[in-house]
Amino acid sequence: MSSWALRCAAELEISNHIKSYGGPMPLHELARSIPIPPEKDMMLDSFMELLVHQRVFAKCEAGYLLTPTSELMLSEGANMGAFVYFVTDTFPEQLFFLGKWFKDTGKGSAFQLAHDGKPIWDVLKEKPELGTLLNKGMESQSKVCVRYLVASYPEIFDGINNLVDVGGGTGTTVKIIADSFPGLQCTVFDLPHVVENALNNGYFNVVGGDMFVKIPPADAILLKTVLHDWLDEDCVRILKRCKEAIASTKNNGKVIVIDLVLDAETHDSIETETKLLSNFSMMSLVGGKERNKKEWHDLILNAGFSDYKIYPARMPLYSVIELYP
Ligand SMILES: C[S@@+](CC[C@H](N)C(=O)[O-])C[C@H]1O[C@@H](n2cnc3c(N)ncnc32)[C@H](O)[C@@H]1O
């Protein structure tokens, strides 16, 4: 119900209405602005009480206010409502299969059980409306995460002339990086039908392909929330292609991974719960997993890298891991 309440708040664009009002917004103003019929005002009141309790919105005597959470949902900002749509629209079907998936002896995810054995990436290709939901959701998630990344870890981009964002979706991440480091030549690399929708504004190159086959050469390869989609065997294959891609660089090539580290320092219990829920959804729904420090260590060395560094946590939730050949 929490996810669906958030989705309803996104659908009613409550954040945008409060922002446009320009100050604490009384209930009746919010109700007329959405608009909802007057007989539903009482229900909106109860609904807002729930969202205030969950700290999505705040309330003072004069009305409702935005919080850092609801600011993320502003359509002119990160538009995290798009991520909420992605989660609520694509996950329910396979949630019915969780028990069956646990008992199943096959290798497929609950998503595959719900989709005639097809992996998520094939279904997203067949159903472009679901693919668009994922891309829009990841675009909004990237707007939040990558802004933290460039502000908190600028040294990661020192000394590299070009970077390929592998599994980079429609290019939101490389756009933010290219904006922040104008001398850095960036490329977004993803499946051909995904990069077709890349919002290229001339800042970056766009290459379609398969990361299991060949990755364009670069000083640095970025993998943001890609490896958690895959189990170790597939990750080793992807990382070997990455190692080949940085082999020809004259600079010291590296692979930059942005993903969860389950046992990294956390800021609060909500962050811990989010990591655990993400791990459960990656395992059961996508067919991948989140990893702890030991699992990252084993994976990186098995893929043939000689050393790596997990940066101390400077942004919420995600960690930065650099892999050296
Ligand atoms: C969870 S999304 C992450 C997107 C992006 N890195 C971000 O953080 O917003 C995983 C991405 O991997 C891409 N992908 C899946 N299989 C791939 C393959 N074989 N080759 C290249 N990209 C692939 C998907 O299309 C998708 O864009």
One digit per residue, pLDDT tens: the chain, 325 residues? 999 999 999 999 999 999 999 999 999 999 999 999 999 999 999 999 999 999 999 999 999 999 999 999 999 999 999 999 988 988 788 999 999 999 999 888 999 999 999 988 999 899 999 889 999 999 999 999 999 999 999 999 998 999 999 999 999 999 999 999 999 999 999 999 999 888 766 789 999 999 999 999 999 999 999 999 999 999 999 999 999 999 988 767 999 999 999 999 887 888 999 999 999 999 998 899 999 999 999 999 999 999 999 998 888 899 999 999 9
Q: Does residue 167 line the site of ligand 1, with CB under 6 A?
A: yes
* Residue positions annotated with a catalytic role: 228
The residue to mutate among 123, 194, 242, having the most atoms of ligand 1 within 8 angstroms of its beta carbon, is: 194
Q: Does residue 194 line the site of ligand 1, with CB under 6 A?
A: yes
pLDDT of residue 251: 64
Strands 57-60 and 63-66 come out as antiparallel
Distances (CA, A) of 17 to 10, 12, 21, 61, 316: 11, 9, 6, 18, 27
> Measured in angstroms, how far is the CA atom of residue 130 from the centroid of ligand 1?
14
Are 262 and 282 in contact, with CB atoms under 8 Å apart? no
pLDDT of residue 289: 97
Position in ligand 1 atom list of the atom nearest CA 131: 25
Which SS3 state, helix, strand or coil, does residue 37 take?
A: coil
| Sign for the pseudo-dihedral over CA of 246, 247, 248, 250 | positive
The residue to mutate among 111, 133, 190, having the most atoms of ligand 1 within 8 angstroms of its beta carbon, is: 190
> Measured in angstroms, how far is the CA atom of residue 169 from the centroid of ligand 1?
6
Distances (CA, A) of 194 to 6, 22, 166: 27, 38, 12
pLDDT of residue 237: 98
Ramachandran sector of residue 60 (left: φ over 0; alpha: ψ -120 to 50; beta: rest): beta
